[in-house]
Amino acid sequence: MEGSSVDWGNLSPKIKFMMNYIEELVKKIDKDTQSVNAKEEALIRERDERPKVVSIHESEGSFEEGNYSEGNRSSWSSMGERSERHGRIERNRREERIEDIVGEERNKGRKR
């Protein structure tokens, strides 16, 4: 290669060809490495500038699909149904407790 102390005149044509080819590959690798490093630095800057809060969509890996992908709608729908069901159960329990308390108060009033 250029910087090395190789006597190019004494090398066979095949070796010269191989050395030139290797030199080209090294240049390509250097160029690709610089490109990858630049992209990495840009991504790091972008990540650092982004808010630190991670959305549900990013953590589930569906950020690229958009917020309203079929899978997310189904997931949110079933979560909503579970929440509604939980709310109904809690309301029923509260109503039963209130009815029990009211019934006890009525019974106390009758016993007097």
- Write down the pLDDT at residue 39: 94
- Write down the pLDDT at residue 20: 92
Handedness of CA 71, 72, 74, 79 (dihedral sign): positive
Residues 16 and 8: beta-carbon distance below 8 Å: yes
Residues 63 and 70: beta-carbon distance below 8 Å: no
**Per-block average pLDDT, block size 10, for the chain (112 residues)?**
69 91 96 94 89 62 53 69 83 85 74 59
- Write down the pLDDT at residue 38: 94
- Write down the pLDDT at residue 102: 78
Q: Domain extents for the chain?
A: 1-51, 76-112
- Write down the pLDDT at residue 93: 87
- Write down the pLDDT at residue 92: 86
Task: Say which residues have a Cβ less than 8 Å from residue 33's Cβ, sequence separation at least 6.
Answer: none
| The two three-digit tokens of residue 94, written as one number | 């509260």
Q: What's the rounded Cα separation, in Å, for the pair 39 and 30?
A: 14
Q: Is 36 helix (H, G, I), strand (E, B) or coil?
A: helix
